[in-house]
């Protein structure tokens, strides 16, 4: 019987990721079950189309199975590795897509089938969501916007400045302050989590 902790994306056992890359069917299924929702949400946020997001996920998981890419504990947690891979590929696809189409499809169109916060979500993932959401909400809107454009659209500071019609220095400062605030909040959360 599965527990909530076993379904948490943020707490995927590194052994599961390693075994999944070695052809273990059970481990691969577990890896998919634990990570696919967060990865699909990320790819959908970047690409804006469910079909494109599904394609990205298929590429990532099939590459893991076929050992084109392999998890290494030295590169952080399994979900950090998976999120980095998914984001990189989704951004590449976004850059290669038609800018007109990109404009039409963003923001996400998946809200109608979205899972409500807390629904089927593990306590570990909920706690992380709470920290991140709270920190981003506390940031000035311009800071948050700059971070989202960099992270979800792969824009460089100069491109963000152009998009928002803001001075480059202002964008750089917002990015730096926003990331610094996120770092502080998460650092505190991780220390508390570690001591608990």
CB 54 within 8 A of CB 40: yes
To which residue do tokens 């634990």 refer? 34
Candidates 98-106, 162-170, 176-184; binding stretch for other proteins (CB under 8 A)? 176-184
Tokens for 91? Answer: 């951004």
* Spatial CA neighbour of 182 closest among 145, 131, 146, 140: 131
Number of residues that bind other proteins (CB under 8 A): 78
- What is the closest distance, in whole angstroms, from the C-beta atom of residue 61 to other proteins in the complex? 5
Any contact of residue 102 with other proteins (CB under 8 A)?
A: no
The window from 98-106, 162-170, 181-189 that contacts other proteins (CB under 8 A) reads 181-189
Q: How many CA atoms lie within 13 A of 36 on its CB side?
A: 14
Task: Give pairs for 48-54: CB < 8 Å, separation 24+.
Answer: 48/102, 48/105, 48/106, 48/107, 48/108, 48/109, 49/105, 49/109, 50/109, 50/110, 52/90, 52/93, 52/97, 53/90, 53/110
108, 164, 166, 168: residue in contact with other proteins (rule CB under 8 A) = 108
Sole binder of other proteins in the list 66, 123, 162, 192 (CB under 8 A):
66
Stretch that binds other proteins, among 98-106, 127-135, 161-169 (CB under 8 A): 127-135
Q: Does 161 bind other proteins (CB under 8 A)?
A: no
CB 5 to other proteins: min, Å: 16
| Distance in Å, CB of 128 to other proteins, minimum | 5
The CB-of-144 to other proteins minimum distance in angstroms stands at 10
């Amino acid at each position: 019987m599965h527990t909530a902790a076993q379904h948490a994306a943020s707490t995927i056992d590194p052994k599961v990721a390693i075994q999944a890359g070695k052809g273990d069917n059970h481990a691969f299924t577990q890896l998919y079950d634990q990570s696919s929702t967060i990865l699909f949400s990320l790819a959908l946020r970047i690409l804006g189309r469910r079909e494109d997001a599904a394609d990205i996920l298929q590429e990532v998981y099939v590459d893991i199975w076929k050992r084109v890419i392999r998890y290494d504990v030295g590169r952080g947690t399994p979900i950090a590795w998976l999120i980095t891979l998914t984001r990189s590929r989704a951004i590449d696809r976004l850059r290669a897509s038609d800018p007109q189409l990109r404009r039409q499809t963003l923001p996400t169109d998946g809200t109608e089938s979205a899972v409500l916060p807390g629904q089927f979500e593990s306590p570990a993932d909920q706690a992380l969501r709470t920290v991140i959401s709270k920190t981003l909400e506390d940031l000035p809107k311009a800071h948050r916007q700059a971070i989202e454009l960099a992270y979800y659209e792969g824009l460089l500071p100069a491109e963000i400045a152009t998009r928002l019609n803001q001075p480059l220095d202002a964008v750089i400062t917002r990015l730096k302050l926003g990331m610094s605030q996120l770092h502080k909040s998460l650092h505190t959360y991780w220390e508390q989590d570690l001591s608990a």
